[in-house]
Amino acid sequence: MNTHFFFALVLPDSIKRHLHTQTDELKSTFPFKKWLHPADYHITMAFLGNAEATMKEEALELIKHSLANEQAFELDIDGIDVFGKKESPRILWAGVKQEERLNAIQKKIYESCKQAGFELDKKPFKPHITLARKFEGEPTFSINKVRQLVNPEEKRFQASQIALYQTHLGASPSYEPVYTINLK
């Protein structure tokens, strides 16, 4: 079976519950093909794809070393938006406020993965928490209607863990943390 791996910021359970409560109100009005299980909420730092064990282990060692002195830090949930066509989006997501610490840690993870030999996405880092995928409704989608019903208000949380996740396609939840790095 084809499986993928990625490094991501782990969200606290309280934030996962908060986002799930908010999105539960949207499911009947906005038909997306897949609503993510709350256990799958995270912020992707580097997507590895189908990773060879030796490359994955090297990336993990490099990341552990590069994050050895990193402190936990605060992040804030900041609104809801979409990727893709506004009238038929690919992704519905919750954002986080811009935070330099998050960007610096993501860069360390990204560079460590590249050093281990991974070909990574070159798009700029846009931290987000995927909530749902592939809008399938009629009439067209409206982010303004979503925001009228629910807009995850600013909610602060402690960012304290990075995990290497493995995907289990077709399962729910779909993502399994296989190794966790705790920030100080």
Positions annotated as catalytic residues are: 42, 128
E-assigned strand segments in 36-174: 42-49, 73-85, 88-96, 128-135, 155-159, 161-167
Q: With residue 115 as reference, give the H or E element that holds it.
A: helix 100-115
d(CA 159, CA 104): 13
Q: Which two tokens stand for residue 31?
A: 């038909």
Burial class (CB in 10 A: 0-12, 13-18, 19+), 138: exposed
Query: If you count them, how many residues does the chain have?
Result: 184
In 3D space, the residue among 19, 147, 174, 22 whose CA is nearest the CA of residue 82 turns out to be 147
d(CA 167, CA 27): 23
Alpha carbon 30 to chain centroid, angstroms: 21
